[in-house]
Amino acid sequence: MTQQTPGRAMTMREIREGLGHAQPGQPEPTVQATRYEVSLLPEGDINRLSFTINVEYRGGDRWAVVRHRQCMNAQGEWSWESVPSEREDEWLAEHRFDLDTALRLAKQAAPHVVVNGHTAAEAYRRSQSPVVPAASEETGR
């Protein structure tokens, strides 16, 4: 157990070691968010995944706006993301952003994602419309 210096409060690490919840000298695992999903469709919607844009961490506090191996630039244009060894500095400068900028760009693009000829905005409106039963041929109603 860690010895406490008189007059000094124990750190959370010392408390955890004392309780047997952490091994002395072993570093704490780090946790880092590396991807955000941006979609106009709500969680649970069957079509959400198809219309999702991802904002992914690329190191050095830089983030990419990606969808199906394509990367967005600041003008909202998509281009294929090549393997890291083939990426030029100029291309990286145009396709890497701080987190706030990347999220803003992804949110702006989200309604315009097209799948099978339909935009995310159209898919959202369809999912929110109540289903109206077809009129019966016999009754004419």
Write the pLDDT tens digit of every residue in 9-53.
Answer: 888 878 888 888 877 777 778 899 999 999 999 999 999 999 999
Output the pLDDT for position 10.
84
Tell me: the pLDDT tens digits for 76-132? 999 999 888 888 999 999 999 999 999 999 999 999 999 999 999 999 999 887 766
Query: Could you give the angle at the alpha carbon of 11 between the alpha carbons of 9 and 23, nearest 5°?
Result: 140
Query: Could you give the angle at the alpha carbon of 34 between the alpha carbons of 49 and 16, nearest 5°?
Result: 125
Number of Cβ atoms within 10 Å of the Cβ of 92: 14
Q: What CA–CA distance (Å, rounded) separates 109 from 28?
A: 38
